[in-house]
Amino acid sequence: MMIQQQPIIVHVVQPATESTTVSDVLIGAFGLTGLLVLLAILLGLVLGGILIGIKVVRRRMNIEPPPDAGIIHIF
């Protein structure tokens, strides 16, 4: 004969999760915005340096720009 036992009941408790507050969202947004602004500034400086470098090299090698090019006197 089989002996009937009481069922074993197990309650699984989920670990507590941190709630996201408005300040967490704002800090994250400002951090991301600051990173994007910094990248835009760096990219602008790099591309500006390349354009000025091209102009300096053209001047040293006496290469005339195309006749339809607009001339900006930077250097």
Instruction: Locate the domains of the chain by residue range.
Output: 35-59
**Is this model's pTM higher than 0.85 or not?**
no
CA–CA distances in Å: residue 52 to residues 10, 29, 55, 74 = 72, 34, 5, 8
Flag whether pLDDT at 19 surpasses 90.
no
Residue-wise pLDDT tens digits, 20-44: 899 999 999 999 999 999 999 999 9
> Dihedral (C-alpha) 53, 54, 57, 58: value to the nearest 10 degrees?
-150
Residue-wise pLDDT tens digits, 41-61: 999 999 999 999 988 898 899
Of the pLDDT bands very low, low, confident and very high (cuts 50, 70, 90), residue 1 is: low
